[in-house]
Amino acid sequence: MSQHELLKYLLAASLTLSLPALADTANVSVYGLANVSYDFINTGTASNGTKGTDIDKISSNASRVGFKGAEEVGDGLSINWQIESLIALDNAGGTFAMRNSFAGISSKSYGSVLLGRYDTPYKIITRKLDNFSDTIADNRTLFGTVKSLSAGTSFVTKQPDVFSYTTPNLNGFVASLARVNLTETATKASDKKDNATSFSAAYDNGTLYGALGYELHQLDTVRVGGTESAWNVALGYTLDDLSFGAAYENTTDTLGKSSSLTTCSALANGADCFGHSAAYLTAKYQFGSGAVKLAYTKVERLAAAANTGADHATIGYDHRLSKRSTVYALYTVLTNQSGANYSLGGAAWSSGLTSSIGAGSTLSALSFGVKQTF
Secondary structure of 279-331 as H, E, C letters = EEEEEEEEECCEEEEEEEEEECCCCCCCCCCEEEEEEEEEEECCCCEEEEEEE
Give CA separation, 215 vs 98, 145, 157, 222, in Å. Answer: 22, 13, 12, 18
222 vs 77, residue with greater confidence: 77
**pLDDT-derived band at 260, boundaries 50, 70, 90:** confident
pLDDT of residue 165: 98
| pLDDT for the residue numbered 265 | 75
The pLDDT value recorded for residue 150 is 40
Q: CB neighbours (10 Å) of residue 358?
A: 20
CA dist 89 and 369 (Å) reads 13
**Whether residue 170 has pLDDT greater than 60:** yes
Q: What is the average pLDDT across 2-9? A: 48
Q: What is the mean pLDDT of residues 199-226?
A: 93
In this structure, what are the phi and psi dihedrals at residue 141, rounded to the nearest 5 degrees?
-50, -40
237: amino acid identity, one letter:
Y
Flag the least confident range among 149-163, 198-212, 231-245. 149-163
**10: three-class secondary structure by DSSP:** helix
- The residue among 7, 86, 63 whose CA lies nearest residue 371 is 63
Find, among 211, 117, 201, 196, the residue nearest to 167 by Cα: 201
**Residue 19 pLDDT > 50:** no
Specify the higher pLDDT residue, 260 or 314: 314
Over range 167-172, report the average pLDDT.
96
CATH 3.40.80.10 fits 30-373, yes or no: no
In angstroms, the CA 199 to CA 113 distance is 14
**Structural element, H or E, at residue 13:** helix 3-24
Domain ranges in the chain are 30-373
Predicted local distance difference test score (pLDDT) of residue 287: 95
Q: In the chain, pLDDT over 90 holds for what percent of residues?
A: 58
Reported as a pLDDT band with limits 50, 70 and 90, residue 69 is very high
- When pLDDT is cut at 50, 70 and 90, the band that residue 348 belongs to is very low
Q: Where on the phi/psi map is residue 303: left (φ > 0), alpha (ψ -120 to 50), or beta?
A: left
Q: How many helices (H) and strands (E) does the chain have?
A: 2, 18
* Res. 24 pLDDT band, cuts 50 70 90: low
Single out the residue of 303, 251, 260, 255 nearest to residue 278, CA to CA.
251
